[in-house]
Chain A
């Protein structure tokens, strides 16, 4: 691509897509701190573990309690 073609494409882009600075929405219209606090709060209190994870954990614990010989097998597969 030569310099002339490059300039032509550049001009076409500039005429097709205006800069955001000239449009509405270019500046922040509201304070985002309340939304940020909500996000931080969600981060501090992660979602509870789903019930099926607890059920799976209980099943594995019961299995290991009744069949202690399975412990090395479990470690092998982890």
Chain B
């Protein structure tokens, strides 16, 4: 785990207030405090450490540009996560659908003899081809098992809408697997 030093800028509320006024020191303090959690959230969505690093920079660049719009009374982490989710979604929209998952994130944690490697590969590929909005909701809810409330907050939609996206993702996936002659 990366341990990062933080410039002393007083209480968090004061740091947030200074950040709102465009103070670079306050921005650095917030960056150092939150870069790990923002990266962790993004890598769960894009599943590619290199892309997640770039998107963390992109997220904080967007945060820096929007500093005047931030309300210091609200949670910085939730705001950052929302911006990070949008940046990750933009990335998924432009990335190729059929790109393979990176090796270090694609291999299963332990051999599972119930399903074949071929079925696992086909399922992962079909999942990659889901529309980004549905894929993000399904990834966070089903694979990463994040609470629906947090997913809804990050996507800026209701919990019901998240559940609907997950359901639509499952329905599309079943349809695609059936098309390939796979009965789950």
Contacts and interface: CB of A to CB of B under 8 A. Distances in A.
A12 B174 CA distance: 10
B57 A31 contact: no
Interface string A1-29: 10001101110111111111111111111
Given A12-B123, A16-B115, A25-B49, A33 B32 contact: yes
A43 interface: yes
Given A16-B124, A17-B127, A22 B142 contact: no
A28 B39 contact: yes
The SS class assigned to the A binding surface is helix
Nearest to B36: A28
Contact of A13 (B39, B105, B123): B123
A1 B174 contact: yes
Interface residues of A, number: 33
B115 A22 contact: no
B114 A15 contact: yes
The SS class assigned to the B binding surface is helix
A20 B47 contact: yes
Interface string B51-82: 01100110011001000000000000000000
Nearest to B175: A1
B127 A1 contact: no
B2 interface: yes
A1 B169 CA distance: 12
Interface string B22-38: 00100010011001100
B142 A13 contact: yes
A51 to B, nearest CB: 28
Contacts of A45: none
Contacts of B106: 17
A5 B171 CA distance: 9
A32 interface: yes
Contacts of A8: 184
B71 to A, nearest CB: 23
B165 to A, nearest CB: 14
Nearest to B138: A13
Contacts of B101: 17
Contacts of A43: 61
Interface of A: 1, 5-6, 8-10, 12-33, 35-36, 39-40, 43
Given A27-B2, A29-B2, A39-B57, 9 more contacts: A5-B174, A12-B184, A16-B108, A28-B39, A29-B49, A30-B53, A32-B56, A33-B32, A36-B60
